[in-house]
Structure 1
Amino acid sequence: MSGLVCRAAAVALSGLSGTAVMVEAAVSQQLPGMAIIGLPDTALAEAKLRVRTATAQLGLPLSDRFLTVNLSPASLPKHGSGFDLAIALAALAASRQLPAERLAGIAHIGELGLGGELRRPAGLLSAVIAARGLGFSRVMVPASGGGEAALVPGIEVVAVADLTAAVAWYRGGAVAAPPATARPGRTTAPGSAPGGRAPGESGAPDAPLPDLADVVGQEEAVEAIVIAAAGRHHLSLSGPPGSGKTLLASRLRTILPELGDEESLEASSIASLGGAPLTGLIRIPPFESPHHTASQVSIIGGGSGAEIRPGAITRASHGVLLLDEAPEFSRHVLEALRQPLESGVIDIHRARVRTTLPAKLQLVLTANPCPCGNAGAPDTALQCRCSPSTRVRYQQRISGPLADRLDLRLTLHRVARTLFAAGSAPALTSASAGERVAAARSRALERLRGTPWRVNAEVTGAWLRSPRARLPRSDTAVLDRAIERGALTARGYHRTLRIAWSIADLAGRERPGRDEVAQALVLRGGGPS
C-alpha cells in the first residue's frame, strides 16, 4: 500500500475569496498513526481524530500504517472544519476503501461528526460560490446545507447526509437525494428580526412594521431621506435629542428597493460566514447598527491568523450602516471608514494573509450638537451648559475628511407641539416613498446602462464632466462660486452634482437644472463638518 497518493479537492476561504486546496493522502511503512501537515489551525489539526473515529464507527477502517495528509499549497494557512469531508475521502481512497479517480475534480465542503454524519460548516454558501469561480462544476456538501448550496447557479450540488453516503456515491455513482428547496420570497436580512423588522423591534407576528409614516413633522428631512435612498448617498443627521434623528435613520432601509440577483447572492454569502444556515437568498437590504463601544475589528473586520471575519461595514454591504451617536465612537473607527466609503471595498492586511471584502454600503451618521445636546436650542428651558471649547472638541470628533465624504448633511430641530395635534396632514409612508425611490433608480439605471455603475452615488467625476452629463455653466454657477471661495472641495463639488441628479430622477426630469443644483447644495451644507 505504500506510495499511493490520493487527492481530494477542497476550498480554503479568506473572507469571501477562495483558494483551491488539494488534500493529498498517502500511506507509508511506519507505525500506525496519522498526521495533517500544510499549515492547519487547531480545528483543522483535530480532524485526524474525527476522521479516525468516524471511519471506525462506520466500518470503514483506515490503513493500519502511518497516514500522512498534506494540504496543498502548503504555504497557505488553512482554518476551520470544512476540510473534514475531503480529508476523510482522501484517507479512505489511500486506504483502498473507494476509487480515487474523481476525487480531485469535485470540491468537498463539510464538517465530520464522530458518528460519521456531515454538518454544515460556517461560510458554506461563500465556499460554493468560490468553488464555482475556481472552475469546479460539481460540489459535495452535507445534506443539511444542500438547499443553501443550490442557491448558487451554474454548479451541480451533491448532497450527502453522512460519510457512508459519500463513499456509496463514489463507489456506484448513485445520484444523491436532491437538496431541500430553498423557500421562495423575501429572506430577512442579517441584523433583522423576523418579517424584516429593524433590530430592537418586536418580532411578534402582529407587531407593526417600521414605517416612514412614524416620523411626525420633519418634512424636509423626510424628503432628504428619500433623496439619499434614490441615489444611495451617505447621510449625516445632527440635532438635539428628541428631534427624530434615529427614527429617520432607521426608516431609511424601509424605502430601499429589494436587492438584485448579484447583490442578493453577495449579501447572502456574507451572511453565510456568520454560521447560520440560509433558506433563501437575502432580498431585503441589510441593516447594521453597532453600539458606539464597538471595537475597530468588529466594525472594519479582521481576525487572527488566516481567519478573516467580516465587520459591520461588510455585513452592511448593499444596505445601511447606521452609526448612532457617531461622535461617541472611537476616532480610529471613524477614520477607518474613509477609504471604504471612497472605494466600496475594505482591504485587510495581516502578517500571513491579505483579503479584500465588499463595502458598498450607505452610511448614516447621527450626532448631537454638543455633549448635553442642547446647543442652539431655541427653548430657554434647555440652555446648553457646555463650554465653547467643549462643543468644538465634540464636533471635531467627526473629522473634516470624513464629513467631506458624506453627501447630505442635515441639521434637525425639535418638532413643534402643534404638529402632534389631531387632524394634521398625513405623513409620507414607506410604501409610497419606496415607489418613488424605485422609479428614480430605474431612471438612473437606464441612464447608466453600459457603464459599471448602477446608482448616482457611484458615478465618477470624469463621467459628470463628460459631454454626456456635463451641465451648463448657467446651472452650476452657484457651485462654481462655492468652490471658488473655498466652501466646497472638488470631492464636494462632484458629490453635490450626484445629489442633483438624484433630485432630478425623483422629479422625473431628464437632467438637473439650476433649482436641483441649488437644492443639492443646501442639502450638502448641513450637519457636522
Structure 2
Amino acid sequence: IALGLLIASGQLKADLNKTLVLGELSLDGSLRHTNGILPMAILAREKKFREVFLPSVNAREAAVIKGIKIYPINSLLQLFTHLTTDEKIEPQPHISFEKLKGEKFAEFDFVDVAGQEHVKRALEITAAGGHNVFMRGVPGAGKTMLARALPGILPDLTEEEALEVTKIYSITGNLPAGESVIKTRPFRAPHHTTSRIGLIGGGTNPRPGEISLAHRGVLFLDEFSEFPRNVLEALRQPMEDGIVTISRAAGQISFPAKFILVAASNPCPCGYFGDPVKTCTCLPGQIIRYQKRISGPIMDRIDLHIEVPAVKVEKLTAGSPPAGGLTADSSKIIKKRVQKARDIQTKRFKKTNLKNNAEMQTKEVKQFCELSNECLNLLRQAVIQMNLSARSYYRVIKLGRTIADLEGSEKISPTHIAEALQYRPKDQTL
C-alpha cells in the first residue's frame, strides 16, 4: 500500500510489473516478520512473477523456492533507494533443500523402551504403511514413550512434503523466525481439553488446527477417551480423506490433514481393568460407559488396535535384549526397514498421487492388492466370525499389504492377512 501511494503521488517512478512486495510495515518504516511468506512466494512463482521483495527476517523461508528472485529488505527506505538509485539490494541466494541443517532426533529411541516387543512391531507396521494406531493399556505401561519414539522411525520428509508442512506452519505463525524449511516430521500432542476448533481448525477467519499442523507427521491423542465426543467425531472426514473442509457463509476453505493418528487410552476410569497385579476399582457400568466414549465409526477408521500391558519387573531390570530370541532394535535399524517398505510403495504408486498404503481407497486396494484364494477364504471367515464392516475388510487388506512390504514380499500371503487380523479391536470381558 505504501509503495502504491508513492507511485500514485509521483514520488516514485518504477516499473513494478511482475514484482511482488510483501511485508508488514512498522510506524518507523521498518519491515516486520510476516506470516505466510512461503505460500505467497510459491503463488508468485506460479503466477509468473519475476521477483519478490520481503522482510529480511523471512528471506530464508522464501529462498528455498526455485525460479524466482527473492530480495530481503529491512525498510521502506531501503526499497525506495534500490528502485531509484544504483545502490542495489543483493538477491537472497537460493537454499538447496539437501543442504539445509541437519535433522532433529526423536525424543525417545525404541531400544530404550523395556519389553513391549509386540507394540514395537505394530508401530513399525504403522510407520511403514502410514496407518492409524490405537493403544489401550494401564498407566505406566509405556504408551506415551512409544508414541514419542514413532517419529524416529518414520522416513525423512521429501522436499515436496517439507514444503507442504512449512506452508502450514508459515501461515499459522509457527515457523521459527529465520528458519527456512521444516525438515522433520511434525509431532503434535494436543491436550484432551482442546476444543473442536483447536483440533480440527476453524474460527471466524478459518485457521488450521492441530490435525493440519500434524500433516505428514504424527498426531498423538493421549487420554483418547477423555476427549469430548463431538471433538472426536469431527475427526471422521479428515481421517478418511486426508483433508479438512471448513464451511463459512463466505465459502469453503480446505486444509491438508494427512497424519498418522496415534491414540492412547486407559481401559477404564481408574486405569487398571485387566491388570494382573493392581485391582480395578471401577463398576462394570463405568467401564462400559468409558470404553463407549469412542464411537464405532472412529474405531473402524483405525487400522491397528493394541493392548499394552504393564511391563514385567524382569524386563525392567534386565540389562540384555528381551528373551524369546527377539532383539531390541534401535530406532535407526527399524527406520531402515521402514524406508525399504516405503520405497516399495513409492515404486508401486509412482503413477498415482498416493504416498503410502494407508492412503489407498477401495479402487486402489483392488488394483494393487492381489489376493490368493487362501487369503480370500481367511478373510471370508474373519468377516463372519469377527463381524467386520466393509471398511474394516479393506483396512485389513491394506495392512496385509504393508506387512508384506516389510518382508519384501511381492504377494500378500495368508500369514500377512492373519497378522493384520490380529490388530482388529478385541472385546474385553468384564
Match of 2:286 among 370, 390, 400: 390
2:261 maps to 363
Q: Aligned to 2:100, which of 185, 198, 211?
A: 185
- 2:329: which partner in 1? 428
Correspondence for 2:182:
282
| Whole-Å separation in 1 of the counterparts to 2:115 and 2:57 | 49
CA contact (8 A) 2:106 2:151 kept: no
Q: Give, in angstroms, the shift of residue 303 of structure 1.
A: 2.4
User: Which of the numbers 439, 463, 476 marks the counterpart of 2:340?
Assistant: 439
SS of corresponding position for 2:263: strand
Tell me if the contact between 1:259 and 1:283 (Cα under 8 Å) persists in the aligned partners.
yes
Aligned partner of 1:409 among 289, 305, 316: 305
Take 1:433 and 1:484, find their aligned partners in 2: how far apart are those partners? Answer: 35
Q: 2:253 is paired with a residue of what secondary structure?
A: strand
Which residue does 2:45 correspond to in 1?
Answer: 132
Cα deviation, residue 137, structure 1? 3.2
Measure how far apart 1:174 and its partner are.
6.1
User: In the alignment, what sits opposite 1:226?
Assistant: 124
- Structure 2 counterpart of 1:130, which letter? L
| CA distance in structure 2 between the aligned counterparts of 1:489 and 1:137, rounded to whole angstroms | 54
Deviation readout 1:278-329 (Å, 9 max, x if unpaired)? 423211100000111111111111222xx32211100000000000011111
Q: 1:187 offset after TM fit, Å?
A: 6.2
Question: Given the superposition, is the C-alpha separation of residues 332 and 319 from structure 1 closer, same or farther in structure 2, using an over 3 Å criterion?
Answer: same
Q: 1:418 aligns with which of 305, 314, 323?
A: 314
2:220 to 307, 317, 322: 322
Partner of 1:456: 357
- The Cα shift of 1:337 comes to 0.6
Alignment match of 1:488 (pick from 363, 373, 388): 388
Aligned residue pair count: 419
- Tell me which amino acid in the other structure corresponds to 2:349: L
Question: What is the aligned partner in structure 1 of residue 171 from structure 2?
Answer: 273
Listed one character per residue, the Cα deviations across residues 221-252 of structure 1 (whole Å, up to 9, x for unaligned) are 10111000000100000011122111111111
| Residue identity in the other structure for 1:463 | E
Determine if contact 2:69/2:91 at 8 Å carries over to the other structure: no
Q: 1:445 to 1:94 in 2, by over 3 A?
A: same
Q: Deviations over 1:483-526 (max 9, x none)?
A: 24562111111111111111111111112201001001102235
Most deviating of 322-331 and 272-281: 272-281
Is this contact kept in 2: 1:272–1:278, CA < 8 A?
Answer: no
Contact 2:106 2:148 (C-alpha < 8 Å) held by counterparts:
no
- Equivalent in the alignment of 1:513: 413
Query: Is the CA contact 1:117–1:163 (under 8 Å) kept in the aligned structure 2?
Result: yes
Alpha-carbon distance between aligned partners in 2 of 1:187 and 1:414, rounded to the nearest angstrom:
36
Which residue of structure 2 lines up, in the alignment, with residue 295 of structure 1? 195
Query: What is the alpha-carbon distance in structure 1 between the residues aligned to residue 206 and residue 19 of structure 2?
Result: 25
Segment drifting more, 159-168 vs 269-278: 269-278
Aligned AA for 1:156?
Answer: K
Relative to the length of structure 1, the TM-score reads: 0.75
Larger mean CA deviation between 434-443 and 382-391 belongs to 382-391
Aligned equivalents of 1:277 and 1:128: distance in 2? 16
Q: Which has the larger radius of gyration?
A: 1
CA 1:423/1:168 → structure 2, altered by over 3 Å: closer, same or farther?
closer
Partner of residue 164, structure 1? 77
Residues 286/516 of structure 1: CA separation in 2 closer, same or farther (3 Å cut): same
Unaligned runs of 5+ in 1: 1-86, 189-194, 199-209
Q: Are the equivalent residues in 1 in contact too, given 2:29–2:77 (CA < 8 A)?
A: yes
Counterpart of 1:141 in structure 2 is: 54
Q: Shift of the alpha carbon at 1:165?
A: 2.0
Between the aligned partners of 2:26 and 2:65, the Cα distance in structure 1 is 26
Alignment RMSD (CA, Å): 2.0
- Contact kept? 2:106, 2:152, Cα under 8 Å: no
- Alignment-derived partner of residue 12 in structure 2: 98
Question: Is the partner of 2:261 in helix, strand or coil?
Answer: strand
Which position in structure 1 is the counterpart of 2:324?
A: none
Aligned AA for 1:97? Q
Looking at structure 2, the residues matched to 277 and 487 of structure 1 have their Cα atoms a distance apart, in angstroms, of 52
1:120: how far off? 2.1
The answer on whether the counterparts of 1:236 and 1:527 sit within 8 Å (CA) in structure 2 is: no
Alpha carbons of 1:527 and 1:303: their partners in 2 closer, same or farther (altered >3 Å)?
farther
- The code of the aligned residue for 1:514 comes to P
Question: 1:504 aligns to what?
Answer: 404
Conserved 8 A contact 2:240-2:301: yes
1:237/1:411 contact within 8 Å kept: yes
1:478 corresponds to: 378
The aligned amino acid for 1:90 is: G
Identity, in percent, stands at: 39
Structure 2 residue 369 is the aligned partner of structure 1 residue 469: yes
Structure 2 unmatched ranges of 5 or more: 322-326
Letter of the structure 2 residue corresponding to residue 120 of structure 1: H
Give the superposition deviation at 1:175: 4.2
1:354 aligns with 2:252: yes
CA distance in 1, matches of 2:294, 2:46: 40
Aligned match of 2:20 in 79, 90, 107? 107
Structure with the higher helix share, 1 or 2? 2
For the residue of structure 2 that corresponds to 1:364, the secondary structure is strand
